[in-house]
Structure 1
Amino acid sequence: MNDLFNITTEEEFQAACLETFQYQYKNVEVYQKFVDFLGKNPSEVKKIEDIPFLPIEMFKNHQVLDKIFVSAQTDKSTSYFQSSGTTQMLNRSKHYIADFNLYEESIYKSFEKFIGKPEDYIFLGLLPNYSENPHSSLIYMVDFLMKKSAKPENGYFLYNHQELFELLQKLGKEDKKVILFGVSFALLDFLDSITSDFGLRTSDFIVIETGGMKGRKEEMTKDELLKILQKGFGTDKIFSEYSMTELLSQAYSLGNNEYECPHWMRVLIRNAEDPFSYLEDGKTGAINIIDLANRYSCSFIATQDLGRIEKREFENEKFQVLGRIDHSDIRGCSLLVS
């Protein structure tokens, strides 16, 4: 299925989606039951808009996994990602992973497309380390990029603000290529802890925020957050990454809160009042995500996020994430360190 990472045209994407739908209907029991419950005849699915999107909540109570791998699982303790949550949250989403190589290839190719080769960068994280959160898809991603980078300076600094500050000063003077990954509130906490001028002036310093304000700090818009981070870190290169436990692909924003997907991933905007209809460009609605890297779970996910697409183009499609649907669960990166 590595061909999915080499999609270059709209026709190839459409064909891959329809093939994936038929495969997952036959092989993913939960998805098959969902499609049947809707009364959808798979033979009548002729275009992307015909495909049923599985509500993301299904990952909380069901094993969404290809039946070929259900019986073959030998170590269920390490073969899944789990959403962040508090100790009071009994039902947290689990995304069982049949092939970690698919995730790693998706990580690498998306990063390379939007930012550059991981081998060229030093990666620092305002995140827990992998041993603290082995079931976090975000931590797995950053850890994988660190391994590809193999730079001795790579590391996690969630609880060591002063050490991170001093290292950033040193790397800035050496004009090294540095990427700082962090959940939003941790980046703000770091800036609040700095008592002297940040003073890092290098064109090769990038901050990538991964969301995560819900329930942790006073709510602010993404635009407000980006302005604070730009001023605090002294760089316009405040990028954003958008993904979730239930996906194996990432969209990136290189500014202006406008995200782009790799060619094997797509966002559709559904009517929040009618889950089977889609809105025209420029209208705000609920986000549906196609992630073809989810070959062995479900590639068609109906999320609880709100968003908007200004203009749909295969080569230059951008979308915005505008918040959560009212009454949806508190979830996501901000709870990683609860």
Structure 2
Amino acid sequence: MELQNNKSQTEKRQALRRQILNLRSSDFERLALDIFRYQALYNPVYGQYIQHLNIKPEQVTRLTDIPFLPVQFFKHHIIRSCEPPATAVIFESSGTTGQQTSQHHLFDETLYKTVSNRIFQENFGDLNQFHILALLPSYLERNNSSLVYMMQHFIAESKSEISGFYLKNVDEMLKTLMFLANNPDGRKVLMLGVTFALLDLAESEYDLSFLSQIRDLTVMDTGGMKGRRQELLREEVHDILTAKLFVDKIYSEYGMTEMLSQGYSHGGGLLVPGFSMRILLRDINDPFAIYDHNINSSKTGGINVIDLANLDSCSFIETQDLGRFGEKEGSFYVMGRFDNSDIRGCNLMVI
């Protein structure tokens, strides 16, 4: 009987995985509900959480009815299905000394990479059209960062000898950028960095005016002061960066250790979730009152994430971020964090 049950789970997982990889927006809600029922049945921690809430999975028929697992559970439990593939990588969140960090077990590297590729491509184009320069000093000092893992994959996919990481060797990065400014080869340039590192570069003594000569330069902010600098409003940070780095706007990436999908902003802080992801908001005072995008866009609430790529962990996460919906369907802004939440290294700045 146990062997039969394992076979049944494996078959269900494979079917859901195929649907994620071939997902169309019109099928999102149906697939999300199917994944909810799968995880309610096969994910022990999530299943117990649902039982404690006295929720019957078969009675959940809308996205707003799905119970969202508080993100803090990733700090104290291994969130996984009963019989997923073997753990390939364990991502761990950054944290200050003494803080309990979150862990997210990645079981299916191919699923994660394929989803991340598609999200990037739908926002910016093929990775092989880019030179990617990653300025991630604090993350490179760890060996279990999900952001570094994703960027390692993106750099490999770019198939560019110029693409690479920069820990503290800013001089080398600037030489690379100057070479690209003087020797354009038709590729775009993506300079992605953690907030404090981009600010350090922008406010350095270097003459950065040559950056204006790079025709297709995208500067992307991943958030995170890491206690290195005073927290600033997002607008303040991006005003400094646009002026000092000679670009018209700053792009942003929204992600976290507990998520395998990403959202991207093309400027102004307005984020668009990837195809495998959707944002709902919850009432600040009642975490079980969930709102979809039809509520007033000026209303602020806690951000709940549906991440279908989290097939083997939990696709329904109650984050500690505050947000509001944008005017564009599905879009959202990150407004900050709940006062009693831990400071997360990769969070976007407050608005």
Normalised to the residue count of structure 2, the TM-score between the two structures is 0.88
- Per the TM alignment, residue 132 of structure 1 is displaced from its structure 2 partner at its CA by 4.2
Q: Choose from 276, 281, 300 the match for 2:296.
A: 281
Match of 1:248 in 2: 260
Deviates more, 1:176-185 or 1:53-62: 176-185
Separation in structure 1 between the aligned mates of residue 285 and residue 139 of structure 2, nearest angstrom: 39
Q: 1:252-331 counterparts in 2 under 5 A? A: 252-279=264-291, 280-282=295-297, 283-311=299-327, 313=329, 317-331=330-344
The amino acid across from 1:56 in the alignment is: V
User: Contact 2:270–2:333 (CA<8 Å) still a contact in 1?
Assistant: yes
- Per the TM alignment, residue 263 of structure 1 is displaced from its structure 2 partner at its CA by 2.3
Q: Choose from 157, 162, 176 the match for 1:153.
A: 162
Separation in structure 2 between the aligned mates of residue 159 and residue 136 of structure 1, nearest angstrom: 17
* 1:276-310 CA-partner distances (Å, limit 9, x unpaired): 11342311111000000000100000000010003
Q: Choose from 109, 119, 144 the match for 2:118.
A: 109
* 1:168-215 CA-partner distances (Å, limit 9, x unpaired): 111112234211110001111112223324321222111111010253
Identity, % of aligned pairs? 40
The amino acid across from 1:41 in the alignment is: K
Q: Secondary structure at the match of 1:101?
A: helix
Separation in structure 2 between the aligned mates of residue 15 and residue 112 of structure 1, nearest angstrom: 24
User: Contact 2:119–2:275 (CA<8 Å) still a contact in 1?
Assistant: no
* Gaps in structure 1 of 5+ consecutive residues: none
The reply to whether residue 198 of structure 1 matches residue 209 of structure 2 is: yes
User: Contact 2:115–2:276 (CA<8 Å) still a contact in 1?
Assistant: no
- Per the TM alignment, residue 311 of structure 1 is displaced from its structure 2 partner at its CA by 3.7
Q: Secondary structure at the match of 2:218?
A: strand
- Per the TM alignment, residue 329 of structure 1 is displaced from its structure 2 partner at its CA by 0.2
User: Contact 2:137–2:197 (CA<8 Å) still a contact in 1?
Assistant: no
* 1:87-138 CA-partner distances (Å, limit 9, x unpaired): 322x210001111111101110000000110011111111149874331100
Deviates more, 1:118-127 or 1:195-204: 195-204
Separation in structure 2 between the aligned mates of residue 112 and residue 2 of structure 1, nearest angstrom: 19
* 1:305-337 CA-partner distances (Å, limit 9, x unpaired): 010003463xxx211011111121012238xxx
User: Contact 1:129–1:156 (CA<8 Å) still a contact in 2?
Assistant: no
User: Contact 1:158–1:186 (CA<8 Å) still a contact in 2?
Assistant: no
The reply to whether residue 87 of structure 1 matches residue 102 of structure 2 is: no
Deviates more, 1:243-252 or 1:186-195: 186-195
Match of 1:55 in 2: 70
Match of 1:38 in 2: 53
- Cα distance change, pair 321–127 in 1 and its aligned pair in 2 (3 A): same
Match of 2:345 in 1: 332
The reply to whether residue 228 of structure 1 matches residue 240 of structure 2 is: yes
The amino acid across from 2:315 in the alignment is: S
Match of 1:7 in 2: 23
- Per the TM alignment, residue 224 of structure 1 is displaced from its structure 2 partner at its CA by 1.6
Separation in structure 1 between the aligned mates of residue 155 and residue 126 of structure 2, nearest angstrom: 12
* Gaps in structure 2 of 5+ consecutive residues: 1-16
Q: Secondary structure at the match of 1:276?
A: coil
Q: Secondary structure at the match of 2:203?
A: helix
- Per the TM alignment, residue 166 of structure 1 is displaced from its structure 2 partner at its CA by 1.8
Q: 1:62-73 counterparts in 2 under 5 A? A: 62-69=77-84, 73=86
Match of 1:185 in 2: 196
User: Contact 1:304–1:325 (CA<8 Å) still a contact in 2?
Assistant: yes
The amino acid across from 1:25 in the alignment is: A
- Per the TM alignment, residue 6 of structure 1 is displaced from its structure 2 partner at its CA by 3.1
Separation in structure 2 between the aligned mates of residue 197 and residue 241 of structure 1, nearest angstrom: 24
Q: Secondary structure at the match of 1:281?
A: coil
What is the aligned residue count? 324
User: Contact 1:129–1:139 (CA<8 Å) still a contact in 2?
Assistant: no
User: Contact 1:104–1:144 (CA<8 Å) still a contact in 2?
Assistant: yes
* 1:235-278 CA-partner distances (Å, limit 9, x unpaired): 12421000000010000000110000122200111111100113
Separation in structure 1 between the aligned mates of residue 303 and residue 139 of structure 2, nearest angstrom: 29
User: Contact 1:4–1:264 (CA<8 Å) still a contact in 2?
Assistant: yes
Q: Secondary structure at the match of 1:68?
A: coil
Q: Secondary structure at the match of 1:203?
A: coil
User: Contact 1:161–1:193 (CA<8 Å) still a contact in 2?
Assistant: no
User: Contact 2:134–2:166 (CA<8 Å) still a contact in 1?
Assistant: yes
Instruction: Give the CA RMSD over aligned residues.
Output: 1.8
User: Contact 1:5–1:263 (CA<8 Å) still a contact in 2?
Assistant: no
Q: Secondary structure at the match of 2:161?
A: coil
- Per the TM alignment, residue 5 of structure 1 is displaced from its structure 2 partner at its CA by 3.6
Separation in structure 2 between the aligned mates of residue 92 and residue 63 of structure 1, nearest angstrom: 12
